[in-house]
Amino acid sequence: MALNTEKNVYTVLFAALMVIAVGSVLAFVASGLSEKIRENERFEKQQNILYAMGVNENANEGSVNFVPTTEVEAEFQKYITEQWIINGEQRTQNQEAYLIDLKKEIAAAKKGQVPRLPVFIGEKDGQKYHILPMYGKGLWDAIWGFISVDENMVVQGVYFDHKAETPGLGANIKQRYFMDDFIGESLMDGSRYTGVSVAKGNNDPLNQRKEDNAVDALAGATITGNGVSAMIRESVNLYKDYLETIREN
Amino acid sequence: MAILSKKDTNLILDPLADNNPITIQVLGICSALAITAELQASVVMALSVIFVLGVGNVVISLMRNIIPSKIRIIVQLVVIATLVIIVDQVLKAFAYELSKTLSVFVGLIITNCIIMGRFEAFALGNNVWRSFLDGIGNALGYGVILIAVGFFRELLGSGTLFGIKVFGDPVTKTGLYATGYENNGFMIIPPAALIVVGIIIWIQRSKNRALIEEN
């Protein structure tokens, strides 16, 4: 077949057809799968929230296992008793509060608008957990998570995740040993809300001191660690009024 | 009759040893540095590249007579990007956990010079079957080095393999750590990958002196 592929007309036509073909293939794939993908994302959020309040399937030391996706919806109904949206002074219950994208709300807050902040109240074995979402920046891209506290502002559990931190370094924020260190730390230093910071050289690698508002940092992941500290501080700041109303001492 | 002729077999075996994309052609070094701190990440990256390079080589080879040479690089990029996006979307829908591990590498696959290199050097001038074998061979050659580097870096840097502690617990000092052994933190930072790749190149060339360039 004698096809002159050097002609400009041919080149332009080829490029145009290629863009149309590739565009339709990608659009077809994306629209066909979008529902399934959204469902996966919803389940993941529920799993993360439950993980932060200690509802998980962690078996041995070091494992991070969520409630399976097939059961997560039922478990979420069972353990999360209330979902609130805090909109300035106004507080409303909303069963879909967990779908709020905190990233957008933080951006809105920075523009001076009143953000819609979700809070989840969970109950397990007679104890109440207040679970707050977090969103921040690591070294390469976004980091986010959930933190659960009791009425004394003591952390009951956390879950961290990240988009693109370095494997083996910053990505270790979602490892069990790092997340478990936060349990028992206080968000308050005296009467100030300080959050919990990720500190280097605090001479407490086993994290035995729980009153120091700090956990041991990850080697080689200073900027991700600082991002985690900043993220917790920002969330505590956003939710200060709410925390003040539930605080008991 | 064998399924693969001798020439076809060489297409797969050559890149594994004497024409390895990383140690001989020194391509794809950027991803070899970036993601080999953990063995699992290396394996996932190797598998993704095998898929993208295998399928990509086939697609480019099928189109080799109709691609205008002026825009062939752009066409190659579009093919790589499309494949990667489709893989990412399918994984997100059917293997969500895996897709989260993979998401970091999507950008890295698109910029991996081995892929464009094979499209340009092989698929544009060879038939579909040979291009497929060449793609698989080169991706395997890349993957083998990636996994070897990941193995040593995770083992010596963190004392783990696939996240499982093989030397005992470094914090509570059990196993090997009780004797005073320490993890080498240097191994988990990117320059260590260069040194490990360098040692692999050294060993390979001392075994096969024909590979040493003369000057």
Nearest to B64 by CA among B128, B132, B133: B128
Rounded mean pLDDT, A48-55? 91
Token code pair at residue B110: 């698109």
Query: pLDDT tens digits for B29-52?
Result: 877 887 788 888 888 888 888 988
Query: Tell me, what's the pLDDT at A190?
Result: 82
pLDDT in tens, B77-121: 999 989 888 888 888 888 787 777 666 677 678 778 888 889 988
Q: What is the mean pLDDT of residues A149-158?
A: 92
> Which range among A24-28, B75-79, B210-214 shows the weakest confidence by mean pLDDT?
B210-214
Between residues A93 and B95, which one has the greater pLDDT? A93
Q: Is residue B13 pLDDT above 50, yes or no?
A: yes
- pLDDT score recorded for residue B162: 84
Contact B44, B50 (CB under 8 A): no
The answer to whether residue B49 is domain-embedded is yes
**Banded pLDDT at B165 (limits 50, 70, 90):** confident
Pick from A5-9, A227-231, B38-42, B97-101: least confident: B97-101
- Probe site for chain B from A34, A39, A40, A177 (most B CB atoms < 10 A): A40
The interface pTM score, or ipTM, of the predicted complex is 0.70
| Chain B residues touching residue A3 (CB < 8 angstroms) | 65-66
- Statement: residue A28 has pLDDT above 80: yes
Which pLDDT value is given to residue A130? Answer: 94
Distance CA A5, CA B124 (A): 14
pLDDT of B10 = 82
**CB contact at 8 A, A102 and A120:** no
- Give the mean model confidence (pLDDT) for residues B133-139: 92
Q: Do B37 and A37 touch (CB under 8 A)?
A: no
Q: How confident is the model at residue A3 (pLDDT cuts 50, 70, 90)?
A: low
pLDDT digits (tens, 9 = 90+) for A124-146: 988 999 999 999 999 989 999 99
The residue behind tokens 């890349």 is B142
Closest chain A C-alpha to B11 CA, distance in angstroms = 29
**B88 in a domain, yes or no?**
yes
- Whether B77 maps to a domain, the answer reads yes
Residue A96 confidence (pLDDT) = 86
Chain B CB within 8 Å of residue A23 CB: no
Give the span between the Cα atoms of A17 and A36, in whole angstroms. Answer: 30
pLDDT on residue A88? 82
Angstroms from B208 CA to nearest CA on chain A: 34
Q: Which DSSP string corresponds to B125-172?
A: GS-HHHHHHHHHHHHHHHHHHHHHHHHHHHHHHHSEETTEESS--TTT
In tens, the pLDDT along A213-222 reads 888 888 888 9
Give residue-wise pLDDT tens across range A165-212: 887 788 889 988 899 999 999 998 888 888 898 988 767 777 777 778
Residue B127 maps to a domain: yes
For residue B7, is it within any domain?
no
Q: Are strands B160-161 and A127-137 parallel, antiparallel or unpaired?
A: unpaired
Q: What is the pLDDT of residue B47?
A: 87
Residue A249 C-beta-side C-alpha neighbours within 13 Å: 8
Instruction: Return the half-sphere exposure (C-beta side, CA atoms, 13 A cut-off) of residue A243.
Output: 24
Nearest CA in chain B to A30: B89
Over residues B170-185, mean pLDDT: 81
For chain A, count helices (H), then strands (E): 6, 10
Q: What are phi and psi of A212, to 5 degrees?
A: -95, 5
Chain B CB contacts of A167 under 8 Å are 35, 37-38, 40-41, 104
User: For the CA atoms of B20, B23, B26, B28, what is the dihedral angle to 10 degrees?
Assistant: 70
Residue among B90, B104, B185 minimizing CB distance to A164:
B104
- Axis crossing angle, helix B113-121 with helix B128-158, rounded to the nearest 10: 160
Query: Is this prediction's pTM over 0.80?
Result: no
Tokens for A64?
A: 């991070």
Tell me the average pLDDT of chain B: 84
Q: Are A5 and B69 in contact (CB < 8 Å)?
A: yes
Percent of chain B with pLDDT strictly greater than 70: 95
Q: So what's the pLDDT on residue B102? A: 66
Q: Would residue A56 be called left, alpha or beta, if left means φ above 0 and alpha means ψ between -120 and 50 degrees?
A: beta
Give me the number of domains chain B comprises.
Answer: 1
- CB count within 10 Å of CB A89 equals 7
**Is the CB of residue A206 less than 8 Å away from at least one CB of chain B?**
yes
Q: What is the pLDDT of residue B2?
A: 56
Question: Token digits for A82?
Answer: 């209330």
pLDDT band (50, 70, 90) for residue B1: very low
Q: Is B97 within 8 Å of chain A by CB?
A: no
Amino acid letter for position B103: S
CB of A220 within 8 Å of a chain B CB? The answer is yes
Residue of A nearest to B172 (CA): A206
Interval A109-119: pLDDT, tens = 889 888 999 99
| Distance (Å) of CA A120 to CA A18, A80, A102 | 48, 7, 13
- Between the alpha carbon of residue A79 and those of residues A64, A97, A129, A130, B116, the distances in Å are 19, 15, 10, 12, 51
Q: Does residue B3 belong to any structural domain of this protein?
A: no
A164 contact residues in B (CB cutoff 8 A): 103-104
pLDDT at A55 over 80: yes
For the segment A1-27, the average pLDDT, to the nearest whole number, is 86
Residue B54 sits in which domain range?
A: 15-207
pLDDT computed for residue A79 by the predictor: 92
Residue with tokens 């933080």: A106
Q: How far is B20 from chain A (nearest CA, A)?
A: 25
